[in-house]
Structure 1
Amino acid sequence: MSQAPVTVVGIGADGWPGLAPAAQQALRRAEVIIGGPRQLDLLPAGCTAERVAWPSPLRPAVPGLIARYQGWRTAVLASGDPMFFGIGRTLAELLGADRLRVLPHPSSVSYACARLGWPLEDTEVISLVGRPLDALAAALHPGRRLLLLSAGAATPAEAAALLAERGFGPSRLTVLAQLGGEREQRTEGTAEDWPHPPGDPLNVIAVDCRRADGAPRLSLTPGLPDELFEHDGQLTKRHIRAATLAALAPAPGELLWDVGGGSGSIGIEWMRAHRSCRAISIERDPVRAERIAHNARALGVPALRVVTGAAPAALEQLPTPDVVFIGGGLTATGALDACWQALPPGGRLVANTVTLESEALLTDSYRRHGGELTRLAVAHATPVGGFTGWRQAMPVTQWSVTKTS
């Protein structure tokens, strides 16, 4: 593949007149311009380059398409800022950043914050382009301001319906379409009675989050209320779950194996810790596996991957984890050893159990590998006749360890 630079030009709804002189010059000098049909149609006749529309699917086609025009002065059109949820990221990953000359245009998010008077640094941006709408649920907190990058004309009504379903019906929605262009539009309403039909597909949705009376409050810290998870009893209870997540210590970008997923509570709370945290829940029971996926969607982490099968066989071919949690199946032959072997140096393992048989396995592993062995006990106040006493839950033995080599 030629090492000639590729110029990536951001363009907005204002088209050619909105481009800076350097961007206009780059497009005039280009011999081939690649972009979406809508973007290519914004160019004037004075741009005499061959115009090539991106094929679908786009990402696999990028290297071959760039190679086809090796030696040509090549420009790529992008919506707004190419490095903000745009084609610039894909090109940098596939071609290398040193191959690119990026000329950004104000993004739709910058325009939206300017129109609304919202500080950009205090506004959370969520892309719904090619992503599940359920991911929006994890960002819903009273008083927060969100900007949703819309997938099309139907997205505002779909987002309004999800907000109402998740207890945020009073939230104020503002749909900003064709930002920066001559046909810029603004539509407003509340999620619970969104009255507007589908409009322009090129839109951004601003959400001023307001929780309805009685709707559950979802904390950012681990230990969500147990009743938020559908389960059949296979659930790491709230206080033990909070202590377990503290031992797991999620960090951005890390991958967790949740072995013996049960209701999926550990993997779900792991992914809620940061938007880039990833998790795979391994559960042998198909009904529970489906329930895990349902809980993940309901709590805003639909990207949780669910593998139906029993360890250790189900662990084969999975990507290398940064952290492993074992909440069930410890006594299955080879399961604990397989999890340990899968971890790279520096990886972490946490295992919980309530049975003496599994506790013996953890004690043996503690002797061989070190780490920390902890007994966790929780008691709840309950009525005792006309008085109140403590009811002790089954104690949990927890082994946590970092693999050194």
Structure 2
Amino acid sequence: MADSGPWLTIVGIGEDGWDGLTAPARAAIRDADSVMGASRHLSLLPDTGGAARIAWPVPFADGVPMLLARRGERVVMLASGDPFWFGAGSVVTRALEPGEWVAYPAASTLSLAAARLGWPVETIHSVGLHARAMETLRPLLAPARRVLALMRDGAAVTDLAAWLVAEDFGASDLTVLEALGGPRERVRRFRADALDATDIAHPVAVAIEPVGDGRVLPCASGRDDDWFDHDGQITKRPVRALALSALAPRPGEMLWDIGTGSGSIAIEWLLSDPTTRAIGFERDATRLARARDNADRLGAGRLDLVAGDARSQLAGRAPPDAIFIGGGLTPDLVEALRALPRCRLVAHAVTLESEALLAECQGRHGGDLLRIELAEARPLGRKRGWKAHYPIVQWRVAW
């Protein structure tokens, strides 16, 4: 806790500059010893007296130590719009104690865009694509979605349109919103496959209404296997749905997927909620690369992948809330995992030997055993018959 109250004032500034600031924000700037912000933000201020003007460096992280070094002075930090909506505010305040800072936000691009489009804010899915891949949008490509994406610059808007075309959503409606709230404001509407503007100015956001023949990624776990590139070593769709049900992902939780293979379990875990986290352990380099490609393509690029044998790679990792083992469970691995804090474990077995191990583990440590027997209708001569898959035994336990 700061002894003498806040030394840092975080001011959200819009494209209307000084005129759009609240009275407390203006007073903080007038009284400041120094004002830090991007050169564009500093240029929006009139002459405010003797405060030193310090341009925030690129990359952004380099400016945080510069700011902290001025602790004890009266410092104003300028940020775009609402500093806590895809903004710099949360990055800076992570390094501060409560009471060291106060914030005066301006209207965010989200609220301004909603006002221009007539969209209820609560219906909009917002994404910051300044430093993220376009594939972050993949789970959101559905005709009922309304998406607002913050873009790096005009070239990125062109890249977005090309990516939508490649995903067979070229008929999507794009509303390009430039410099909202200021004298340079401009709002234009295009189809993704007909976007030909070369004069898109920063700052820019794009409102996306997906339209097209592209595949829509389902919301429920147990997506079709062909969403994932694999070599046959994949937890199949019905079994994957049962595994995710047993793992029971919750917001903010961490999964360890041991022997991740194609990454399908970890990816579906991550798709369940944007705050979930996952680490996939895999010994095979080819499968590891394939899991990376699958995760990136399906909008789960935050999947952390670790090469090597899981038993030797567990130390020092963020502790899991849930663990999935698709195969290769050993008594030593069970004992190592049980030394972890409170956790849920789901393990699958196909062979008689691994099934016997799961039965032994269940007898020793408790939990539930489930035998999964599936069969699919296949041609049998001129008729059809049931083709059975190998039965799978699932052990689910929590401690």
Global fold match (TM > 0.5): yes
SS in structure 2 of the partner of residue 280 of structure 1: strand
What residue is the counterpart of 1:400 in the other structure?
A: 396
1:201 is displaced (CA, Å) by 2.3
What residue is the counterpart of 1:220 in the other structure?
A: 219
Distance 1:67 1:301 in 2: 34
Q: Given the alignment of the two structures, is residue 207 of structure 1 paired with residue 214 of structure 2, yes or no? A: no
What residue is the counterpart of 1:231 in the other structure?
A: 230
Q: CA contact under 8 A between 1:250 and 1:273: conserved in structure 2?
A: yes
Question: How do residues 231-250 of structure 1 correspond to structure 2 at under 5 angstroms?
Answer: 231-250=230-249
Q: CA contact under 8 A between 1:169 and 1:191: conserved in structure 2?
A: yes
What residue is the counterpart of 1:145 in the other structure?
A: 146
What residue is the counterpart of 2:73 in the other structure?
A: 72
Q: CA contact under 8 A between 2:377 and 2:386: conserved in structure 1?
A: yes
What residue is the counterpart of 2:190 in the other structure?
A: 189
Give the TM-score taking structure 2 as reference length: 0.95
Distance 1:396 1:303 in 2: 30
Q: CA contact under 8 A between 1:157 and 1:198: conserved in structure 2?
A: no
What residue is the counterpart of 2:266 in the other structure?
A: 267
Question: Could you tell me which amino acid in structure 1 is paired with residue 186 of structure 2?
Answer: Q
Distance 1:397 1:198 in 2: 59
Distance 1:59 1:322 in 2: 30
1:84 is displaced (CA, Å) by 1.1
Distance 1:38 1:365, change over 3 A: same
Structure 1 gap segments, 5+ residues each: none
Q: CA contact under 8 A between 2:2 and 2:100: conserved in structure 1?
A: no
Question: Could you tell me which amino acid in structure 2 is paired with residue 253 of structure 1?
Answer: G
What residue is the counterpart of 1:337 in the other structure?
A: 335
Distance 1:363 1:7 in 2: 60
What residue is the counterpart of 1:365 in the other structure?
A: 361
What residue is the counterpart of 1:18 in the other structure?
A: 20
Cα offsets for 1:3-32 (capped at 9, x unmatched): 541111110011111112221122111111
SS in structure 2 of the partner of residue 195 of structure 1: coil
Alignment match of 2:384 (pick from 365, 377, 388): 388
What residue is the counterpart of 1:326 in the other structure?
A: 325
Question: Could you tell me which amino acid in structure 2 is paired with residue 115 of structure 1?
Answer: R
Q: How many residues align?
A: 397
What residue is the counterpart of 1:312 in the other structure?
A: 311
1:293 is displaced (CA, Å) by 0.6
Q: CA contact under 8 A between 2:141 and 2:216: conserved in structure 1?
A: no
1:2 is displaced (CA, Å) by 6.0
Q: Given the alignment of the two structures, is residue 355 of structure 1 paired with residue 348 of structure 2, yes or no? A: no
Distance 1:113 1:365 in 2: 55
Cα offsets for 1:241-284 (capped at 9, x unmatched): 00100001111111111111111100010000011111111111
Distance 1:252 1:198, change over 3 A: farther
Question: Could you tell me which amino acid in structure 2 is paired with residue 344 of structure 1?
Answer: P
Q: CA contact under 8 A between 2:29 and 2:48: conserved in structure 1?
A: no
Q: CA contact under 8 A between 2:13 and 2:80: conserved in structure 1?
A: yes
Q: CA contact under 8 A between 2:292 and 2:305: conserved in structure 1?
A: yes
Distance 1:32 1:231 in 2: 56
SS in structure 2 of the partner of residue 206 of structure 1: strand
What residue is the counterpart of 2:91 in the other structure?
A: 90
SS in structure 1 of the partner of residue 184 of structure 2: coil
Question: How do residues 26-65 of structure 1 correspond to structure 2 at under 5 angstroms?
Answer: 26-59=28-61, 61-62=63-64, 64-65=65-66
What residue is the counterpart of 1:302 in the other structure?
A: 301
1:133 is displaced (CA, Å) by 2.3
SS in structure 2 of the partner of residue 243 of structure 1: helix
Q: Given the alignment of the two structures, is residue 104 of structure 1 paired with residue 105 of structure 2, yes or no? A: yes
Give the TM-score taking structure 1 as reference length: 0.94
Alpha-carbon RMSD across the aligned residues, in angstroms, is 1.7
1:198 is displaced (CA, Å) by 5.3
Distance 2:68 2:266 in 1: 41
Q: Given the alignment of the two structures, is residue 172 of structure 1 paired with residue 173 of structure 2, yes or no? A: yes
Structure 2 gap segments, 5+ residues each: none
1:79 is displaced (CA, Å) by 0.5
1:339 is displaced (CA, Å) by 2.9
